[in-house]
Homo-oligomer: A and B are copies of this chain.
Amino acid sequence: MKAGPSQEEVRQHNLGILLRHVHFDGPTSRAVLATRLGLNRSTILGLVGDLSAAGLVREELPQETGRAGRPSLVVKPESTRVHVLAVDLGVERLAAALIGLGGVFLDRRECPWPAGHPQDPARVAAILAEFAHEMLARAPAGSWCVGVGVAVRGIVRQPDGLVTLTPNMGWKDVDFAGAFADRLRLNLPVLVANEANLGALAEHRRGIGRGSQNLVYLHGETGIGAGVITDGELLHGERGYAGEIGHMTVNPYQGRPCGCGAHGCLEAEAGERALLEAAGRDGQHLGAEAVRSVVVAADHGDVTARAALHRVGDWLGIGIANLVNLLNPDLVVLGGTLRDVFLGSAAQVRSRINTNALAAVRENLRLRVSELGGDAVLIGAAELAFSEVLTRPLETLTRITEQRRARPGALSPSSPQS
């Protein structure tokens, strides 16, 4: 139980919500901001002035208004001047992007990265740091990086971001944030999170989940993970491990063995390997392309592929029904390889949900595929990186500036806006 905020805390809070508004909803006039935020115009004027002076937003004429008369100025995020570094340690690729305020991709790099054990964290960090340095060197003069977000496949302890387990990299209790920060030399905190949590954040803020306050994002990519948004916020649990739906037991006595050591986990029954084996494909060739080929084959009438999708869709429906009974979301988003799996098995998934979820609980449920597709996780990593500047804009910028002054040796490809 915390006492109410001081006047100064209220002002910092309001700077944050104004910046978040233009970051998520795009250019907005001061009059509209006043209405939406429930603040008077002079307060908005002051807040916009502070954010402009800090180089976070600018006011300009809108691109087109479609109306006669003098258009109002709109407040825009400084997308090219303020950016974050987002990094994704995927099962098939390493990816990095420079993403500007407002969610604009400014630059990106990626390379194939087949899974194999164990992988050296320092080597992964070095490759991604090189991508980062290339992109930062090309960023406009005067622009600056305000955060770093990293997505990993596996479980990540919060709040310290220790990578507890990543099956695709073969890591256990690895401080990837530390390794990456050492290589990056940006003097910025490196935030690390689980891929499905970041996918949920991305779809909630910028994808099909906009407007939903209670959604679950399911990410398929070898295994199955869930990111849960309840009441508009990401559900973390006690140590940040929430969302491990892949290891929900759905078939304990006849179930397929799972990598975790148990039997009948959802990802053992409905994951990539289960689909490909049921479809008679070589178990060695996993991956998004292999999954897609089964869905395409089923579409062309391949009976084995159809049966495989039917089987996997049945288990996926059971898993979703369990989620729905427990969490009562209004939206379930299917991303990663589950996007294709769902498109090929939607009838079976829905039929199982109708059987296994309570009528009232599923009444308003929508099932949708990811809108952000292959970039959902990377966009989520960018949102994680933006989280601090969006919460305390001026304090964050001041801290970054001071840390750079205190450690001038830190790499600083672009000088901060003062």
Task: Give me the interface of A with B, judged by CB distance under 8 Å.
Answer: 1-5, 7, 9-11, 13-14, 17, 20-21, 36-39, 155, 157, 164-165, 213-214, 226, 228, 230-231, 233, 235-245, 247-254, 260-262, 318, 321-323, 325-330, 355-358, 360-361, 363-364
The complex places the Cα of A361 from the Cα of B260 at a distance, in Å, of 12
Task: Taking A155-B358, A236-B328 as given, write out 11 further A-B residue pairs in contact, using a Cβ cutoff of 8 Å, ordered by the A residue number.
Answer: A1-B21, A3-B17, A10-B10, A155-B360, A226-B326, A230-B235, A237-B361, A239-B330, A245-B325, A248-B326, A249-B322
Least Cβ–Cβ distance between A200 and chain B, in angstroms: 13
The complex places the Cα of A246 from the Cα of B230 at a distance, in Å, of 20
The complex places the Cα of A357 from the Cα of B248 at a distance, in Å, of 8
The complex places the Cα of A241 from the Cα of B324 at a distance, in Å, of 9
Least Cβ–Cβ distance between A48 and chain B, in angstroms: 14
Closest to A233 in B: B231
| A237 touching B329, Cβ below 8 Å | yes
The complex places the Cα of A282 from the Cα of B321 at a distance, in Å, of 32
| B252 touching A253, Cβ below 8 Å | no
| B330 touching A247, Cβ below 8 Å | no
Closest to A331 in B: B238
> How many protomers of this protein does the assembly include?
2
Q: Which of B11, B245, B325, B360 sits near A4, CB closer than 8 Å?
A: B11
Least Cβ–Cβ distance between A61 and chain B, in angstroms: 25
The complex places the Cα of A237 from the Cα of B235 at a distance, in Å, of 12
Residues of B within 8 A of A231 (CB): 233, 235-236
The complex places the Cα of A262 from the Cα of B325 at a distance, in Å, of 13
Residues of B within 8 A of A228 (CB): 326
Residues of B within 8 A of A253 (CB): 251, 254
Least Cβ–Cβ distance between A223 and chain B, in angstroms: 11
The complex places the Cα of A50 from the Cα of B253 at a distance, in Å, of 62
Q: Which of B1, B157, B318, B327 sits near A252, CB closer than 8 Å?
A: B318
The complex places the Cα of A252 from the Cα of B13 at a distance, in Å, of 49
Least Cβ–Cβ distance between A338 and chain B, in angstroms: 17
Closest to A37 in B: B3
Q: Which of B214, B242, B357, B364 sits near A326, CB closer than 8 Å?
A: B242
| B327 touching A247, Cβ below 8 Å | no
The complex places the Cα of A5 from the Cα of B5 at a distance, in Å, of 8
The complex places the Cα of A214 from the Cα of B243 at a distance, in Å, of 14
The complex places the Cα of A219 from the Cα of B321 at a distance, in Å, of 21
